[in-house]
Structure 1
Amino acid sequence: MLLNLFGSDREAMSGVDTAWLRMDRPTNLMVINGIMFFDGPVDFERLSAVIDSRLLRHRRFKQKVVRSGANAAWEDDPDFDLANHLHLVALPGQAGKAELERMVNDLISTPLDFAKPLWQFYVVENYQGGSALIARIHHCIGDGIALIQVLLSMTDKEADAAVATRPRKPRFHAGGDDDDLFMRLYRPVAKMYTGMLKSYFKLIGTGYGLMMNPSKLAGYTQTGLGLAEGLARLTTLPADPRTRFKGPLSTVKRIAWSESLPLAEVKHVGRALGCSINDVLLSCVAGALRAYLIDAGEEDIDGLDIRASVPVNLRPESKLDQLGNYFGLVFLSLPIGVANPIERVYEVRRRMEEIKGSYDAVIALGLLSLLGMLPDAVEQPAIEYFSTKSTAVMTNVPGPREQIYMAGSPVRDLNFWVPQSGEIGIGVSILSYNEHVNFGVMTDKKLVAEPARIVERFGAEFEKLVLVTLMQHWDQPPDPGLAEINLALWSLMHDVEAES
């Protein structure tokens, strides 16, 4: 643990977590923001007891960050007080969605206090006749998969569960179905590189990244070649084109969230099109971004591609209940320039297949580990360089498949917003909960002042795909010529609409 650098009462931070810590800057705070919605009130005292017994069992939430040169460590906060992290607040005026958005906007633009453990919860007691819980947790504490497990450990399947109930050992909520929602990128890595990842995580645990130990790859000749080729491709990738989504950033962020899409309908559309659920959702994101750019007067849209940095979970199931960051990144090129929504979803599918067998995610995790152990003067230019390669961060996180309860109150819905690094100014988050899919968007105010104009287009893009799939037999296997058939159907409907 390299404790000698800090003293026996401190725990050295891993290289990867240190890298995320040092990415924090006024124009892009490395804080994951989430929200729970309730139809009724939340018992504040009971919630306090749940947090005390379940959240604070993770020592990390009672520790603050201390730095020494290029290194960072966790230290128990001798003055820890839950009252400094759990707040009861109320909305002004109509206490509706507009007022809640303003409150979240103010919070996400405010840095966390580094003199205390890096998290904050806010219970909004009067939202739309019910209530809401806003959570803010610094990325150095954990990634999305880790934090969703922490969230689940604080919830129950029944309203009357005991406060001190010991949470079950967490597991992925995505099952073995190849069409499952959020495992499309995780599963190939987990299956193909299991041996390498085991060795890799052992190296991470001792404070060394993959890139610091190339000799460890001696037994993986093919893997070593793939890593070398991937690293060369990653470092020579050209900068993403300049659009209204990319430019100088401010210190003010804006958020928006969508109405939920029924997961069953998304599954049916994917089956009818012969695509995965992920292909369908990412195609809707690309279509929504395209529609926004057109309405904003962006020129030369046709043929335009913009890249999204997509986190790929590399966390083995044995580490699901551990905090920290265990994910890499891949660059997904979104076909913004494809106008036909059917053609677009098939193009997304093709590009996802290209990513499927790449080593990019493992390389990214290794680079982050290495950067976290180098001086900040080296990390910051590297982060700036790699952030020019993409326009957005886009992440998928699997949430609970069934109704859950927080402190005895039923959770109606969930949403979250992913932070962006370097000069990236837009983040798109996709979260499943209780057989629904939710979209959240965070933007820099200087680039996109009203992210709701993007969010409101997700549903419209999905409806375009529904129009075609309504003409398919959803309970039958896809026809080999399905892509051509669906493209023809869309062209026909588009022509009829134009004539009318």
Structure 2
Amino acid sequence: MESLLTWRKPALKPLQITTITNHNDDNMIIATGEEQPLSPASRLFHQPNFNVYIIAIIGFKNPLNTRVMHDKLLLTLIKHPRFSSVQVVDHKNGGIMKWVPTIVNLNNHIIIPNIPQTLESPNNFLEDYVYNLSKTSIDSSIPMWDLHLLNLKTSNVEAIGIFRIHHSLGDGASLISLLLACTRKIDNPDAVPTVPRKKDSNSGWFSSLSYDRGGPWWKWCFMVVCMVYWLVWNTFVDIGYIMATAFFLKDTETPIKAPEGVNLTPKRFVYRIVSLDDMKLIKNAMNTTINDVAIGVTQAGLSKYLNRRYGEGKNDEGANEKKNNLPKKNIRMRSMLVVNMRPSSGIQELADMMEKNSEAKWGNLFGYVILPFTIGIRDDPLDYVREAKATIDRKKHSLEALFSTSVSALVFKLFGIKAANTISHKAAACTTLGFSNLVGPQEEIGFYGHAIEFLAPSCYGHPHGLMINFQSYVNKMTIVLSVDDNSIPDPKQLLDDIEASLKLIKEAVYAKGLIKDDEEGLSQAAFT
């Protein structure tokens, strides 16, 4: 396997302008279009300590027809300007980086590895394959993406596709949306997937400000003043928190807190598919969101896992999972959450862009939010979700992400990319983990005619020893971990703890009688 995945050090080539004309054959296409500068965020991902790649593992229900994949990519994905351009340095204009259309040879992007006929464990082969993939990079002399096609039958699928995309091509939400734009509904092959749009984070706030003409006007004005006050106050506190984190405020040194330089180590990827209906059951019973449930379940799983890790090496009584082995002092554990600040293009809009050469908004434009995770052993499992909801509700009432975007842009403009990179990397390295929750299609879809069983996105090259991604798809939720082996040597145990925590919280919902009568039938089906 190592021979398939050789290390290639990325080296941005100097800008060379050539006249380009349309051309198309079996293996290559020559792209046309105007050169455009890279955004500051895209340039950030080319810094040595922030060289991040997005990995999207796709499970298929049937074996792959690699020729069909090849032909369909020519008609769709490589029509996107970012997937058919190289990133080059224009030394004549101050060393700025530009997107330049180039020849796209699919032989450089579609990788079909030789798989041994007999394997003791196909699941372990896949895990090792992706692990070895994270040791490598993509040569910047070609568009920085590739697709690995493995006709490998694992425990739950017949084949695997692995998209690897350099983060400079776009933010995670945009890239996943673009991949989904290449898919179609199984029951309607002409229709793109239906993905729910996330509501404005402040919509819940200001929807309560509708003026009641029958009520006193001063009450409405008082509510406005209070909400504006809390918005300003929360933003002010969060700004101070970000600045402190960027300069000195570090997370507690727990067993899963990775050391400096972990961004350069390979990552191991493991995933677990759980029931999205179970999470919806908890959401409806507790009047929260799926995101609140995902964070609550993660807090519970991390607490359970850390309790075991702190108990290692103690006597039998100390190692008992029912005993609280966590330090008496509160554990500071936070996630550096990346928030997309650009309105996401719809799936149909991106599909039209590739098929009809129309325009769609694209790029890396994001801010940071520091999300605290509460670690502790709770008597009531529902407290993990309640604490997550309280944290998220407060974050919704803050302009923290907007501030971080503005400050990053200002630092880049005044002091350059190296200064912006230093601050961003330092703030991320002072936290413990990365976290994301992406909304997927509500119906089954196919990728160029191949039915999809699950989606599992993650990344490597980030300054954390642990990245946790939640990805929904139809009635399933895939939990994906990207871990540093030295920090988390047993990632499947952490998945077990997260899954067990979901079950425990669901059982607590039943035990406390929080299920409504009209939901009982659906809930019982999900419970069994």
Q: What range is the shorter-chain TM-score in?
A: 0.7 to 0.9
| 8 Å CA contact 2:69, 2:448 repeated in 1 | yes
Match of 1:260 among 258, 273, 284: 273
Could you say which residue in structure 1 is the equivalent of 2:448?
A: 407
Match of 2:337 among 304, 310, 314: 310
- Deviation of 1:459 (Å): 1.0
CA distance in 2 between partners of 1:358 and 1:189 (Å): 9
Matched, 1:146 2:168: no
Could you say which residue in structure 2 is the equivalent of 1:381?
A: 422
- Deviation of 1:146 (Å): 0.7
Matched, 1:19 2:32: no
Distance 1:145 1:89, change over 3 A: same
* Count of residues in correspondence between the two structures: 428
Matched, 1:174 2:214: no
Match of 1:323 among 362, 365, 387: 362
| 8 Å CA contact 1:91, 1:100 repeated in 2 | no
Could you say which residue in structure 1 is the equivalent of 2:185?
A: 157
What is the letter of the counterpart of residue 82 of structure 1? L
- Deviation of 1:454 (Å): 1.3
| 8 Å CA contact 2:275, 2:476 repeated in 1 | yes
Distance 1:267 1:225, change over 3 A: closer
Matched, 1:46 2:65: no
Match of 2:110 among 69, 77, 86: 86
Could you say which residue in structure 2 is the equivalent of 1:105?
A: 131
Could you say which residue in structure 1 is the equivalent of 2:353?
A: none
| Mean CA deviation greater in 100-109 or 128-137 | 128-137
- Deviation of 1:189 (Å): 4.9
What is the letter of the counterpart of residue 371 of structure 2? L
Aligned-residue sequence identity (percent) comes to: 21
- Deviation of 1:442 (Å): 0.7
What is the letter of the counterpart of residue 253 of structure 1? P
CA distance in 2 between partners of 1:101 and 1:62 (Å): 29
Match of 2:374 among 309, 318, 335: 335
Show the 5 A alignment for 1:336-375.
336-340=375-379, 341-373=381-413, 374-375=415-416
Match of 1:32 among 32, 51, 54: 54
| Mean CA deviation greater in 380-389 or 29-38 | 380-389
- Deviation of 1:140 (Å): 0.8
| Mean CA deviation greater in 110-119 or 233-242 | 233-242
- Deviation of 1:123 (Å): 0.2
| 8 Å CA contact 1:55, 1:61 repeated in 2 | yes
- Local SS of the residue matching 2:457: strand
| 8 Å CA contact 1:393, 1:418 repeated in 2 | no
Could you say which residue in structure 1 is the equivalent of 2:497?
A: 457
Distance 1:29 1:108, change over 3 A: farther
Could you say which residue in structure 1 is the equivalent of 2:83?
A: 61
| 8 Å CA contact 1:159, 1:409 repeated in 2 | no
- Deviation of 1:225 (Å): 8.7
What is the letter of the counterpart of residue 458 of structure 1? I
RMSD: 3.1
| 8 Å CA contact 1:70, 1:375 repeated in 2 | no
- Local SS of the residue matching 1:127: coil
| 8 Å CA contact 2:274, 2:499 repeated in 1 | yes
> Over residues 21-80 of structure 1, what are the superposed CA-to-partner deviations in whole Å (9 max), with x where a residue is unaligned?
32x53xx640000111112211111111111111011011111111356632111224x2
- Deviation of 1:85 (Å): 0.3
Q: What TM-score, normalized to structure 2? A: 0.73
CA distance in 1 between partners of 2:162 and 2:476 (Å): 20
- Deviation of 1:158 (Å): 3.3
Match of 1:397 among 429, 438, 442: 438
| 8 Å CA contact 1:159, 1:410 repeated in 2 | no
What is the letter of the counterpart of residue 277 of structure 2? A
> Over residues 381-427 of structure 1, what are the superposed CA-to-partner deviations in whole Å (9 max), with x where a residue is unaligned?
21332124411110111111110011211111110113463x42211
Could you say which residue in structure 2 is the equivalent of 1:234?
A: 242
CA distance in 1 between partners of 2:492 and 2:450 (Å): 28
Distance 1:77 1:6, change over 3 A: closer
| 8 Å CA contact 2:445, 2:451 repeated in 1 | yes
- Local SS of the residue matching 2:437: strand
Distance 1:35 1:270, change over 3 A: same
CA distance in 2 between partners of 1:262 and 1:269 (Å): 11
Distance 1:453 1:329, change over 3 A: same
- Deviation of 1:368 (Å): 3.6
Show the 5 A alignment for 1:282-301.
282-297=295-310, 300-301=326-327
Distance 1:337 1:305, change over 3 A: farther
CA distance in 2 between partners of 1:18 and 1:50 (Å): 30
What is the letter of the counterpart of residue 416 of structure 1? P
Q: What TM-score, normalized to structure 1? A: 0.77
